[in-house]
Amino acid sequence: GENVEQHPSTLSVQEGDSAVIKCTYSDSASNYFPWYKQELGKRPQLIIDIRSNVGEKKDQRIAVTLNKTAKHFSLHITETQPEDSAVYFCAASRGNSGYSTLTFGKGTMLLVSP
């Protein structure tokens, strides 16, 4: 099955700095890579996703890059703000059958200090 590794487990930055979280996956057939932000006690919120037919996607201060050859993808947050503080999860999924599942990384706790 799929295995997703996520690094770092914690990341502390100063407000205004950039933050980068990296994930690797094992299943070369995976074709969908979402990133979720989860605040304490809340639901995971999809913040950006990328599909295997593109290498990069950007949405304002957030960007995701995908390297299919190396089987890794990264989340980039620029101009970080204290409200970006949360746990971020990457995930990977393959296929489009009714039983396609998401495999999550272990999460990165991002702390943005004012």
Partner 1 sequence: GAVVSQHPSWVICKSGTSVKIECRSLDFQATTMFWYRQFPKQSLMLMATSNEGSKATYEQGVEKDKFLINHASLTLSTLTVTSAHPEDSSFYICSARGTAQSSYNEQFFGPGTRLTVL
- From 13-21, 59-67, 72-80, 92-100, give the range in contact with partner 1 by CB under 8 A: 92-100
Task: Give the C-alpha distances (Å, rounded to integers) separating 34 from 5, 15, 73.
Answer: 14, 25, 10
Indicate which single residue of 24, 74, 80, 93 sits in contact with partner 1 (rule: CB under 8 A): 93
The reply to whether 65 sits near partner 1 by the rule CB under 8 A is no
Judge contact between 112 and 81, C-beta under 8 A: yes
How far apart are alpha carbons 42 and 114 in whole angstroms? 23
Please give the residues from 20 up to 59 whose contact with partner 1 meets the rule CB under 8 A.
Answer: 31-32, 34, 36, 41-46, 49, 51
| CA-closest candidate to residue 8, choices 112, 109, 113, 77 | 109
Q: Number of H helices and number of E strands within the chain?
A: 0, 11
Indicate which single residue of 19, 23, 48, 107 sits in contact with partner 1 (rule: CB under 8 A): 107
Q: Between 65 and 103, whose beta carbon lies closer to partner 1?
A: 103
Which residues lie near partner 1 (CB under 8 A)? 31-32, 34, 36, 41-46, 49, 51, 89, 93, 95-96, 98-107
